[in-house]
Every structure is written in C-alpha cells, then in structure tokens.
Structure 1
C-alpha cells in the first residue's frame, strides 16, 4: 500500500509482549521482616505451623478443574532485605527452609523485597544498561481515578508520592461566605463507596527523587503484579526466576537474584491468581495494595494472554486485576 494515507512503522517500534508460563495459583507462605528472623528458629517454626492449615485450605479451594486436571500451584516467600539487612542469605535462608519443611511446606520460590525496587545484577555479571527497576515501571503506569467533583488542585501522584481511592479533604479553601454550601470543612469520600466511605491515602515513597525510599505498600503492589505475570518493560517479563538448585547461599543479598527457584519441579512462578497468608499487621498494607492495583494501567497484550490461556483451560480469571488477589490473615501469626 502506498500514497498519502500509508503508514510505515518499523517492527522494532512495536515490541513483542513476552509470554510467561502460568500456574493456577501463586501461594505466598509469608513475608517477614528482618526483626522477625532475629527472634530465632522458634519464631520461624511458629510461623509455618500457623500457615500450614491455611495453605492447605487455599490449595483445596482451587480445585476441582475441568476434565479432572490437577491444579498447578506454586509457593513463594518474600524476605524484606530492603528496609533492613540484619543478617545474610547464608545465615537466614537455610533455617527458613528447614522450618517450612518441618511444617510440611515447600518454598518453591524465594524473593527479595529489594528486587521489587531495583534488582541487583546477577552474580559475576555487570549491571545491564537497560536494567528494569520494577517500582519505577509501575509508577509510570499509574492512572489516577479522578474523584467526582474534583477540581485538579492536588498535584499528580508522580509529584506528591501519594495515591488515594477517592476525594481528599480540600487543603485550600475560600472564605466560608464564598463556599457554595457555607461549610468550613468537607470530609473525604471514597470513590464508589457503598453507603459509607472507607477513604485511604497511600504513601508510595518519601525522600528526594534521587534517593527515593519506596513504601512497603508500593513494593507489595509490584510484588503482586509480578506474581500475576502482568508486569512488562519494553515487552519483556520482569523479575523472571533464576534456578538456584543446591548451590550455597551467598553472604551478600545483592549476590542473590531478585527471585530464585529453589524447587526444580515447581509449577510456574506466575499465576492466574494469588493468595497470600500473612500476619494481621499486613492488613492495612494490603488494603493499600488494592488501592494501587485498581489504578495501574496494565499492558493490553499481557491481559489478553492471561485471558486467552485461562479460558482455554476452562478457568477464566476476573477482569479486574485486584480481583485476582486474595489474602488470609490467621490469628496469632
């Protein structure tokens, strides 16, 4: 085709969206801080003993699948090496895996929370020039939901670092005489609230841009998108697991890939849905995660791949990304 209406485009201008394998469920067996590990092996044993019955229930909830097929379920564990590093992988990971095995659980994939911010290069390799920083990638995909009646006075999330699920209380007002209703205060309101609002304003980071510290809630949002297989950068999958097999763990966290596959027979890391068994202290964090996920623009091709493949298996997924996540907060965990 030629002429004034013709459009010529290089193939490289439309990067192919890399496909990833999918389990039916990504089951997170925990997310602990360094201070939790500092309490010793008994703390880890108590954790996994409490997680075990809920993990069994989450597995049972997946099936049965069409045609009698067995569900593909992979397990993962997230270690916080971003906010503190009180120990090393060599000291911390073996007791963790031993405590899980004692409770009858297998950790298929181990992830570092700092990898959700900016993964370190693989051991023995220089950092690539086009290294993907997952948190930055998600930040650029945020599309704030405009609250009803908003006037655009509040700066965008890219400048403030705050994301909300509704309309904030105004921070600048005219005199009461000029207000339409004569009020001196307007309450915040949740977009799409049912009867009453549950308003949340989520801090995504703090500090200056060049030394930005990401919040736990935002890194957990990245973690969910990675587990759901929906995060791409220039068409490439982000945080692909690296096989670790029986190698010794290093003495430096940055020498460990962001996500490692510990079980060579594990089902795929990415999954149609996620379930996280977490201590109750993470409940407000995960509420914030849902606020973030509701406002992330996911590449259409990545969504299409999941929809087509899950439909072919007879296990279609919800259209909303946030609806693909679930949680269990066991008492006493």
Structure 2
C-alpha cells in the first residue's frame, strides 16, 4: 500500500505568475559605451552597417520556423552603469538617426544599470539567488561558494597553493577540469561581482546574463515582471539617465520586447563576455512556473523552443 502525504498551503501564499507578451525573436542591434559615443556619428553608422545583414539573416531564419507572420522586435543596450556620459536626450536621438540612415529601426532601448536594479527591485540579486552551483567531486570546501567569493566556474578549479601539512608529501599540481567536456576541457572562471566601499559592483558578464533573461521574459519578482517597457517619445526624453525608464519603447507599433528566442549582433570584443554569460546562465535555475508558462505558449504556437535557456540565445560576432 502506498501512502500519499498531502501538503496544504494557503492559496494566497503562492504568488500568481503573470505572463508577458512574447515575440518570436528579439534582435539586439548592439551595445553603446562612452568610447563609442565619443568617437562620433561615423562609429555609430559603422556599427549599424555591419549589423544590418545579420539582422536580416536572423529575421529570415526566424520566418522559416513560424506559422504565419513572425513577431520580431529590435533592441539596443546603453551602458549607464560603469560610466555615465552625455544624456538620454542627446544619445538616443543620435542612435535612432544613425540606425534609420542604415535602414534599421530600434524598437526598444534599455539602460545597463536596469540590469542591476529596476523599478526598485534588485534584479541582479534575484538572479544571483537562483544560481545553482554544483560542487565538484572531492571538494573539501577550501574554496568558498560563489555567493561568498563572487566567482563562478564551469567545473573544478586547480587546488589552492596552501602550505602542505607537516610531514605530508608535497601537493601535486592538478589542472582545472570542466564538468562536462568532450575530449578536452575548456575551463572558465567568471567574476560575478566585487564589493567596493560598501557597494556591490556587478560584473559586465553578470549584467549581460540578467539582460538575456529579461529579453527572454523569464524574470519575475513575486510573480510580477520587472522593468517592463514604457512608451516614450523623443520629445519626452529626460536630461538624466536615472529619470529614464529601465526599458523604453520608441516604436509604438513594435512587437513585444520579450521573446522566445534572442539574437545579438555584437563586435568581436564581446565574445569573451558572452562566453561568460553562457557559463552563468547554464547554472541559473529559472522559476519553474515561469519556465512552464513560456514553454506551454511556445508549444501552443508550434514554435520550437529548447529546454535549455542558453540554447535559446543566438549570436553573430562581427
């Protein structure tokens, strides 16, 4: 005879997960940093000229796997976290103008600082709390976990160079080892953050991981989406970055900001960062209710969606 134990909870104790509108594909047309903006309009034009053919290719590829007309939106990320430069009222019109001249349209613009905190919610901490770090076989606890050290790897690190115990044989060096590898290990150790003067400074790869989860519509706080796009006109752009919403919708007719899949066309300088992003995302446990909701909707549309989050992300490195 099999016994079944029931678990009773108040209905109000389980937050309802609110869904978000989803496009089939979110295309990222680039990142903007202070050096890029200072280099002038020609730098912006060069970026969009190199991105345009890849954005067209991603659009065409998405169209082949969709019933009917695909829903595709574009976005652009501006760094206002590590450096503050100029103002939204000056930067955003320059971006829009350069994109339009090369035949592209930016539907949404996001602030990188909004990947750390948006609408009063510490998004970066929410993601950090969902990291599931698997201790390697034979671990002795000498290396603190990621929530303490601020570092995350994809396998087993080399032993530390601590002094050997008295009368013990010298410790033999061992190479780091990737957890799941084919033929040879590719070991990656990623800095997630560091604390400076009482302030936590999140790393660029970690913020980029939050950015991908946000674009994929997989982030919730007590069941509610955070940092939802807000429509704004160019005439309404503020003079200060902190006055700009986390994500702004500049194209009133755009498809949804969140999407089943993402594609980013980036310069080759971002390759290392995105490798780190994939290392991080491979160890993030997405809320099961949110994951099931998105998967169910994709299946209902007949749109193929991999189970693994990292497999929903595509790139072109220019």
Asked whether the 8 Å contact 1:163–1:203 carries over to 2, the reply is yes
Match of 2:302 among 314, 319, 330: 314
Q: Are 2:144 and 1:155 equivalent residues in the alignment?
A: yes
1:62 corresponding residue in structure 2: 62
Question: What is the aligned length?
Answer: 313
- TM-score, normalization: structure 1? 0.90
1:18 offset after TM fit, Å? 1.1
Kindly report the root-mean-square deviation, in angstroms, between the aligned alpha carbons of the 2 structures: 1.8
Q: CA deviation at 1:272?
A: 0.6
User: Where do 5+ consecutive residues of structure 2 fail to align?
Assistant: none
Query: Is the alpha carbon distance of 1:104 and 1:168 closer, same or farther for their aligned partners in structure 2, counting shifts above 3 Å?
Result: same
Q: Does 1:169 align with 2:158?
A: yes
Aligned to 1:263: 251
Q: Retained in 2: the 8 A contact 1:77–1:109?
A: yes
Task: Quickly say closer, same or farther: Cα 1:163–1:228, change in 2 above 3 A.
Answer: same
* SS of residue paired to 2:164: coil
Contact 1:307–1:316, Cα closer than 8 Å, also in 2? no
Paired residues of 2:194 and 2:201 also in contact (CA < 8 A): yes
2:317, 2:7 → 1: CA distance? Answer: 54
Q: What is the CA distance between 1:183 and its match in structure 2?
A: 5.6
Alignment of 1:1-333 (within 5 A): 8-65=8-65, 67=67, 69-119=68-118, 131-171=120-160, 172=162, 174=164, 178=168, 184-208=172-196, 210-330=198-318
Q: TM-score scaled to structure 2, two decimals?
A: 0.94
SS of structure 2 residue aligned to 1:269 = coil
**CA offset at residue 169 of structure 1?**
0.7
Structure 1 stretch displaced more, 93-102 or 245-254: 245-254
- The CA distance in 1 between the partners of 2:296 and 2:139, in whole Å, is 37
Query: Alpha carbons of 1:154 and 1:117: their partners in 2 closer, same or farther (altered >3 Å)?
Result: same
Distance 1:282 1:109, change over 3 A: same
